[in-house]
Structure 1
């Protein structure tokens, strides 16, 4: 089961790219700052001219955990699953699910 948190106008481009198997993050068109999660204004220059940029999806895993108890009923059927804190090659950090290997692998 795939659980998508509440999609909003602000986060829709992220989820649309994810549905297509791409990772897209917000980019400030004024200063070039890349940021995640999506915000209504740039965290660097506070500009509101924001767009979306596809990124590689590669990065460095700094830590991870295997979740064995659901934190929400919507995740009950997915236990166990692994989540990680990742610094993307392009700079921003994100928390993501680990797929393609067993949670304990």
Structure 2
């Protein structure tokens, strides 16, 4: 099997399917608690702030600040092994949460970024950050 036939890891929670649905629509949507307004990431079953059990998927601000970066030089996943080195970073989203995102186009700490939900080769949403224009 060539490395082009190897897919990224597909294990995601059933709750995270909302991220994939948003990516398919070309939207940047995350869960928002209707009780306290807290934006949730990663996807979860209850609000991380007030424990409300209903979370709605809503389009939120797709901007943030890249707080830290790292380059992966090793992976146990065959998909990533064939594509190393791989850059990722911690982003503080303007809508609230922190998230780990793929950095395909560089980026430095404290730089403004625009985020997107994109479908990976396996058809599952991943979070991607690029330098803001």
TM bucket, shorter chain: 0.7 to 0.9
Rounded Cα–Cα distance in structure 1 between residues aligned with 2:49 and 2:26? 28
Q: Which runs of 4+ in 1 moved over 6 A?
A: none
Aligned to 2:37, the other structure's residue is in SS state: coil
The answer to which structure, 1 or 2, has the higher relative contact order (CA under 8 A, 6+ apart) is 2
Rounded Cα–Cα distance in structure 2 between residues aligned with 1:15 and 1:45? 25
Counterparts of 1:1-105 in structure 2, within 5 Å, are: 3=8, 5-101=10-106
Count matched residues.
102
RMSD over equivalenced CA pairs, Å: 2.1
Residue-by-residue CA offset, 1:40-73 (whole Å, 9 max, x unaligned): 1111111111111222321111100011222422
TM-score, with normalisation over the residues of structure 2?
0.66
TM-score, with normalisation over the residues of structure 1?
0.82
Deviation at 1:4, TM superposition (A): 5.2
Note closer, same or farther for the CA distance 1:13–1:57 as it changes in structure 2 (3 Å cut). same
Residue-by-residue CA offset, 1:10-54 (whole Å, 9 max, x unaligned): 000112223444322111111111111111111111111111122
Unpaired runs of at least 5, structure 2: 108-133
